[in-house]
Structure 1
Amino acid sequence: MQKMLTLTAALTGLVLSGCATQSSNSFQAFQADDLNAQVKSGLLVQKTNSFFVLNDSSSSMSKTYLNSADYSGTKLDVEKNLLNKFNHTIPDITLSSGLRSFGYGPCTDWSTSHLNQPLQSYSTSGFESAITSLECSSGGTPLAEAVEAAKGDIASAPGNIALVVFSDGMDETSPVPAAEALKAQYGDRLCIYTVWVGNEADTAGQENLQSIVDTAGCGMATDVNAISSAAGMSNFVKQVLFKPGNPVPDCSQLDEDHDGVNNCLDKCPDTPTGAMVDNHGCWSYHGVFFDFDSDKIKDKFHPLLKNAVEVMKLNPSLTVEIQGHTDSVGSVGYNLGLSERRANAVENSLIQNGVDDRRMTTIGFGKSHPAESNATEEGRAYNRRVEFIRTDR
């Protein structure tokens, strides 16, 4: 009888520990989708601040992964390839990350799980070292114990947490109670994501993985085929780390006031309909409206003022401030008075052409508001200008 008990114990230990199967650290060539532009534009908004991986390193993962044109080798090799793809698809955001493997025997230091990388600031190279530390697979599949251990692993995790499980799901005991306890501790901060890495004989494991996702109440359950491609993996990374956002429009492609100057360059973004604008998008007439030391509008500039009259008629609720400006030649006081007289002259011209004077005010700025450098004749000519600033908004 004693011999029988000894033999039974020995066989049980052999089953639990298994023979450790070594894994390859050679990864598939992979060109990840670049998600940085979507993050920068606001199309993707970060929702997760920390992710922690539980990786199945039990003896069942030493079996060859079958029926896949994408992978050869063991199921553990497949897990590591997927983790590598996940790692290289993560865009440039601030994260914390860590990894724990579960099984039994030499691959997990003769414990049901092993902390391969404590929670730390995430980097691509740093997390790659965690992946390559998954050297072998052995023993049973104690996912429940790994989930229990994760309660302490993520205790210092900032913000929202994603627990990401890679496994065939062929657990020895249900992981649901451990998942319930984990969820109770971290509440809405925690979501669970699972990746089924199994063969046809392991389909029951999909239900086990789905059950802990359901327990968390948020996250998703997926499988190898869904996330193997660049597009599939980028979608998975989006699901785990991001939520949809409102993208920041490209201002160079927008012209909201329809004046022909895009929003990036438009310094006057509310130009009224029909206004003649300068290269800054402002309703402004540059050049010499007046002879030197004169406030009489030269005849050749009357077509420009006609445009101003048309704009006022096209926009009957529009009110404006007519601003006069000069170049830097002359004293401050003299230019201030000259700019005021010229603004008044433009207002009088509009009144004579039927614009109600109650819709207009005038002001002179002299040489205090140059639009271009006064160091050149071209710049000084550009600064001798009259601007119309709407005051109805």
Structure 2
Amino acid sequence: MQKIYLLASFLTMSITILTGCAQLKPHKKPIEPLETFVPQNLGAEFQDVEYIPKIKSFVIILDASASMEDVYTGAVNKGHPKFAVAKDILTRMNTTLPEIDINSALVTFGHGFFKPLDKTFVVYELTKHSRGLLENALNGVTIPEGSSPAGNAIKDATNLLLTSGGQNAVILVSDGEQLIGSPLARAQDLKEIYGDKVCLYTIFVGNTAEGAKALRELAREVQCGFSVTADEIASSDDMADFVKKVFLTAIPKQVSDIDSDGDGVYDKDDECPDTPKGAIVDSRGCWVVKGITFDYKKWAIKEEFNSNLSNIVDILQKNPDMHIRIEGHTDNIGSMEYNIDLSQKRAQAVKNYLVGKGIQESRVSTVGFGYKKPIAPNDTEEGRSLNRRAEIVPIK
């Protein structure tokens, strides 16, 4: 009975001590969300140049060892685990890289104390790259644990690239701490096998000078590529610069693909350059009173066409310093003298409408060309109806 009492007392004291320790244990301050990142858009439609891939394939090596669980003391996402910062940097790279025809693979190393020290994991082999592919793979990478066999991961990358031709890149993201697996020797192997067909880029996400030095030495060993820190490529502009250097070659846009005034008609076909933004143009790129046709020998604007003029009114209201010239045209029936007068009346009718909507009269001039500038043959009724038109020309 006494033994039972003593045992009960011991259990009660143990529970009390454990409960007290739990109560005294400080609560961790919640970690703030990762920083918001807005990638620079490198799509061709937003650039003065067109970007094409400079490499055929790339392999990412991500350090998932135990030291990557330590808090990052750098600038970008300070206070978060180094592993979270590393994945965020790769996400920034992934969202900045435009959708181009390129292959990618992902290798990690680390993965637990109860697994072999040289453990690496090929998350996915060389596959046509897409943002979704890498994003999903990064989200599925396990919690960092274990040692840092970076050399074995570089060997994995070397083997993966055997199926790729052309120029290639290996991107190693790590804190550079206690790297094993002879990473320098494996980098030499990479260089010997591929020569100048492969470059090694290292991204340092760490807190020690020794770790940064280790990654710089790896990049130098391959003699192509460079080493950067997470902080150096964290901003939108800096990440875009990194992506351009690693992945892209810039070539001038073909003249045939340039649309300087953004009206939807390429410059080589645009007979009316410098039309204002939002202007409705015809197939020649000329700002027209769209949808309005003048009856034979008439200049009155039919009420059904009033709404078509709202585009011009809207543009003039948004551009108060803009002046325009309205050019009237006709078909070729009748004398030139008669048609000059008729085309002038058509231009004046459009001006009167605009002035009536509040546009200052001094901003609008008119001219009549008669049938001097046809846009369609005058030998059919359809062609003649197209020539009975008005055009708008911005005046600088």
TM-score normalised by L of structure 1: 0.58
RMSD value over aligned CA atoms? 4.0
The answer to whether structure 1 residue 86 and structure 2 residue 93 are counterparts is: yes
The answer to whether structure 1 residue 206 and structure 2 residue 257 are counterparts is: no
Cα gap change, 1:70 to 1:44, in 2 (>3 Å): same
Cα gap change, 1:262 to 1:119, in 2 (>3 Å): closer
**C-alpha distance in 2, partners of 1:36/1:262?**
18
The answer to whether structure 1 residue 186 and structure 2 residue 194 are counterparts is: yes
**C-alpha distance in 1, partners of 2:268/2:383?**
26
The answer to whether structure 1 residue 219 and structure 2 residue 225 are counterparts is: yes
Query: What is residue 126 of structure 1 aligned with on the other side?
Result: 133
Query: What is residue 36 of structure 1 aligned with on the other side?
Result: 43
**C-alpha distance in 1, partners of 2:153/2:226?**
19
Structure 1 runs not aligned, ≥5 long? 1-23, 255-260, 270-278, 292-296, 302-324, 330-373, 383-393
Matches within 5 A, 1:15-164: 28-37=35-44, 41-68=48-75, 70-103=77-110, 105=112, 111-164=118-171
**C-alpha distance in 2, partners of 1:246/1:177?**
40
1:214 Cα deviation (Å)? Answer: 2.0
1:225 Cα deviation (Å)? Answer: 0.7
The answer to whether structure 1 residue 328 and structure 2 residue 335 are counterparts is: no
**CA deviation map 1:303-355 (0-9, x unaligned):** xxxxxxxxxxxxxxxxxxxxxx97426xxxxxxxxxxxxxxxxxxxxxxxxxx
SS in 2 for 1:165: strand
Conserved in 1, the CA contact under 8 Å of 2:103 and 2:127? Answer: yes
**CA deviation map 1:149-198 (0-9, x unaligned):** 22212222354211000012232365222112112222332111110111
One-letter amino acid of the counterpart of residue 59, structure 1: A
Matches within 5 A, 1:243-392: 243-248=249-254, 250-253=258-261, 263-266=267-270, 327-328=378-379, 374-379=381-386
**C-alpha distance in 1, partners of 2:260/2:240?**
28
Conserved in 1, the CA contact under 8 Å of 2:103 and 2:126? Answer: yes
1:37 Cα deviation (Å)? Answer: 3.5
The answer to whether structure 1 residue 228 and structure 2 residue 237 are counterparts is: no
**C-alpha distance in 1, partners of 2:46/2:217?**
32
Cα gap change, 1:267 to 1:253, in 2 (>3 Å): closer
Query: What is residue 368 of structure 2 aligned with on the other side?
Result: none
One-letter amino acid of the counterpart of residue 216, structure 1: V
1:108 Cα deviation (Å)? Answer: 6.6
**C-alpha distance in 2, partners of 1:34/1:224?**
20
**C-alpha distance in 1, partners of 2:87/2:331?**
73
Cα gap change, 1:82 to 1:40, in 2 (>3 Å): same
Conserved in 1, the CA contact under 8 Å of 2:191 and 2:222? Answer: yes
**C-alpha distance in 2, partners of 1:133/1:326?**
65
**CA deviation map 1:116-154 (0-9, x unaligned):** 222212122211122122222223222112111222122
Conserved in 1, the CA contact under 8 Å of 2:331 and 2:378? Answer: no
**CA deviation map 1:82-132 (0-9, x unaligned):** 112122222121221111111363597764311122221212221112212
Cα gap change, 1:27 to 1:123, in 2 (>3 Å): farther
1:299 Cα deviation (Å)? Answer: 8.7
Conserved in 2, the CA contact under 8 Å of 1:107 and 1:136? Answer: no
Conserved in 2, the CA contact under 8 Å of 1:55 and 1:101? Answer: yes
1:241 Cα deviation (Å)? Answer: 0.8
1:229 Cα deviation (Å)? Answer: 1.7
Structure 2 runs not aligned, ≥5 long? 1-30, 274-282, 286-328, 340-375, 390-396
Cα gap change, 1:109 to 1:119, in 2 (>3 Å): farther
One-letter amino acid of the counterpart of residue 237, structure 2: A
Query: What is residue 321 of structure 2 aligned with on the other side?
Result: none
One-letter amino acid of the counterpart of residue 379, structure 2: S
TM-score normalised by L of structure 2: 0.58
Conserved in 2, the CA contact under 8 Å of 1:144 and 1:178? Answer: yes
Conserved in 2, the CA contact under 8 Å of 1:55 and 1:167? Answer: yes
The answer to whether structure 1 residue 177 and structure 2 residue 172 are counterparts is: no
Cα gap change, 1:149 to 1:67, in 2 (>3 Å): closer
Cα gap change, 1:68 to 1:264, in 2 (>3 Å): same
Cα gap change, 1:280 to 1:60, in 2 (>3 Å): closer
Conserved in 2, the CA contact under 8 Å of 1:107 and 1:135? Answer: no
One-letter amino acid of the counterpart of residue 231, structure 1: D
Cα gap change, 1:181 to 1:69, in 2 (>3 Å): closer
Identity of aligned residues (%): 26
1:218 Cα deviation (Å)? Answer: 2.1
